[in-house]
Amino acid sequence: MPRFYKEEPLMNRKDFKKFKYLEVSTLVATQDLIDFECLKRKMKGKDHSVIHVLRYENTNLILDGHHTAIAKMLRWKAKVRVKYLEYKITEP
What is the pTM assigned to this prediction? 0.74
The structural domain count of the chain equals: 1
pLDDT over 90 at 21, yes or no: yes
Quick check: is 5 in a domain? Answer: no
Quick check: is 22 in a domain? Answer: yes
Quick check: is 27 in a domain? Answer: yes
Strand order in the sheet with 27-29: 18-23, 79-86, 51-56, 59-64, 27-29
CATH classification at residue 65: 3.90.1530.10
Q: What is the mean pLDDT of residues 17-44?
A: 88
Quick check: is 6 in a domain? Answer: no
Q: What is the mean pLDDT of residues 1-16?
A: 52
Quick check: is 44 in a domain? Answer: yes
Residue 8 pLDDT grade (very low, low, confident, very high; cuts 50, 70, 90): very low
So what's the pLDDT on residue 46? 64
Convert the pLDDT of each residue in 31-80 to its tens digit: 888 899 988 888 887 666 788 898 888 899 998 888 889 988 888 888 98
Quick check: is 48 in a domain? Answer: yes
Range of the domain at 65: 13-86
Burial of 26-45, coded b for 16+ CB within 10 Å and e otherwise, reads ebeeeeeeeeeebbeebeee
User: What long-range pairs does 71-75 form, CB within 8 A, spacing at least 24?
Assistant: 71/39, 71/42, 71/43, 72/24, 73/24, 74/43, 75/43
